[in-house]
Amino acid sequence: MYNIFVLPGDGIGIEVTQSAVRVLKALDLDIKFSYGEIGYECYKRHKTPLPDKTIDQARTCDAVLFGAVTTPPNIENYFSPIVKLRQDLQLYANIRPNKSYPIPGFRENVDLVIVRENTEGLYSGVERTEQSGEKAITERIITNNGCERIIRYAYEMAKKQNRKKLTYVHKANILRQTCGLFRSIAQEISQEYPNITTEEMLVDAMAMQLINKPESFDVIVTTNLFGDILSDEACMLVGGLGLAASANIGKAGALFEPVHGSAPDISGKNIANPFAAIMSAKMMLDYLGEENKAIIIEKSVVSNLKKGYSTKDLGGNLNINQVTDKVIEKIQELIK
Ligand code: NAI
Ligand code: MG
């Protein structure tokens, strides 16, 4: 039996995780779902966006299914609970696949995975001001261990998924110390994987080439901020936020979440696209070793996209519950 800890969070996070859970329940798996609190609504109730109880449960479950949280404006001492949770659980690898699906208006033949370092870099959280606020400083922390584990993760994932090429992305010509370290470790580790073609690319060139020839990339590995930006760019090539799923993986845990936020502009209107959360649940099943069930989810989503069964953001006219019903209907047909 799998113990899945669901953290819906705020806004459409609550709506889309409900859809993902419904889809998982349709798959004949032995899953026990438990629920926890996180985010701004949680802060209003408990004076913290991330209670200790949530961290403890996230640590002991088999996987976390997360929705999205709202960042409130200007509350002193407020912190991002999802960034903190990823750090506390040492979920160092953020995996964001971007694949072409049959949706009119988007790029074809794209099948790339961005592997983003998730715990250090410019998101180290080490910030200060000096000279009475005249000068603000954020420390970009890159460690040997941090580079080694993320680069190794990317190569191992490439090997497992039978992918042929890995591009490591940096800006070592300018950021000579931090990106220099990342680059030299990537060069070293690449020697261990002679069957995977390795290439390097500066981050600005990468931003351009992602638009120019996205079909030429396979696995991309990079530091935290670069990965954050490049993965948002990449998702717009193949369907946008409504489809973008992600995994956060560490040695002792894993958390799966749609890339999008809590979308207050559409929250409560029943029009949020559940595919990103459903595909995150699919990634969770891959992680748990339930690859056959994961494929069924993906097949069902693709079949629905082909028929144009989607929410407004992808050109469809169904609401979130209708899309979820269609996905479940197809799953039931595939399982038979
Ligand atoms: P957002 O991702 O919530 O929304 C951006 C735009 O995309 C909006 O127009 C929204 O309606 C649309 N959108 C997003 N997901 C969609 C879906 N599933 N279906 C249809 N349309 C969708 O980002 P935004 O507006 O910058 O931030 C809103 C709140 O979410 C903020 O408080 C922000 O801090 C938070 N946020 C949280 C994240 C997380 O929990 N991991 C990630 C990004 C933002
Ligand atoms: Mg982002």
Task: Spell out the per-residue pLDDT of the chain, length 336, in tens.
Answer: 999 999 999 999 999 999 999 999 999 999 999 999 999 999 999 999 999 999 999 999 999 999 999 999 889 889 999 989 998 999 999 999 999 999 988 999 999 999 999 999 998 889 999 999 999 999 999 999 999 999 999 999 999 999 999 999 999 999 999 999 999 999 999 999 999 999 999 999 999 999 999 999 999 999 999 999 999 999 999 999 999 999 999 988 999 999 999 999 999 999 999 999 999 999 999 999 999 999 999 999 999 999 999 999 999 999 999 999 999 999 999 998
Considering the domain architecture, whether residues 206 and 111 belong to the same structural domain is answered as yes
3-class DSSP state of 189: helix
How many alpha carbons lie under 13 Å from residue 46 in its C-beta half-sphere? 14
User: Quick check: CB of 331 below 6 Å from ligand 1?
Assistant: no
Specify whether 273 is located in the same domain as 286.
Answer: yes
Q: Is residue 283 part of a domain?
A: yes
Specify whether 195 is located in the same domain as 278. Answer: no
On whether the CB atoms of residues 298 and 282 are closer than 8 A, the answer is yes
β-strands 165-170, 63-68: how paired? unpaired
**Residues ≥6 apart with Cβ < 8 Å to 213:** none
Check pocket membership of 19 for ligand 1, CB cut-off 6 A. no
Residue 92 falls in the annotated catalytic set: no
Q: Within this chain, do residues 252 and 202 fall inside the same structural domain, yes or no?
A: no
Whether 17 is in the pocket of ligand 1, judged by its Cβ within 6 Å, is no
Three-state secondary-structure class, residue 18: helix
Do 181 and 172 form a contact (C-beta atoms < 8 A)?
Answer: no
Residue 102 inside a domain? The answer is no
Of the candidates 252, 258, 216, 242, the residue with the CA atom closest to the CA atom of residue 96? 258
Are residues 133 and 224 located together in one domain of the fold? yes
Burial label for 289, CB within 10 Å (0-12, 13-18, 19+), is exposed
Same domain, 72 and 32: yes
Residue 101 resides in a domain:
no
Q: Which residue has the least CA distance to atom 16 on ligand 1?
A: 242
Q: Are 233 and 295 in a shared domain? A: no
Q: Annotated catalytic residue: which of 10, 155, 168, 228?
A: 228
Domain ranges, residue 173: 107-237
- Tell me if 296 is assigned to some domain: yes
Same domain, 276 and 319: yes
Distance CA 242, CA 277 (A): 9
CA gap 94, 165 in Å, rounded: 18
How far is the C-alpha of 242 from the C-alpha of 291, rounded, in Å?
A: 23
Q: Are residues 233 and 252 in the same domain?
A: no
Count of structural domains, the chain: 2
Same domain membership, residue 328 and residue 220:
no
User: Per the domain annotation, does 162 fall within a domain?
Assistant: yes
Q: Are residues 262 and 304 in the same domain?
A: yes
Tell me the CA–centroid distance for residue 133 and ligand 1, in Å. 31
Burial class (CB in 10 A: 0-12, 13-18, 19+), 1: exposed
- Is there a domain that residue 298 lies in? yes
Q: What is the pTM of this model?
A: 0.95
Whether residues 306 and 252 fall in one domain: yes
d(CA 232, CA 243): 11
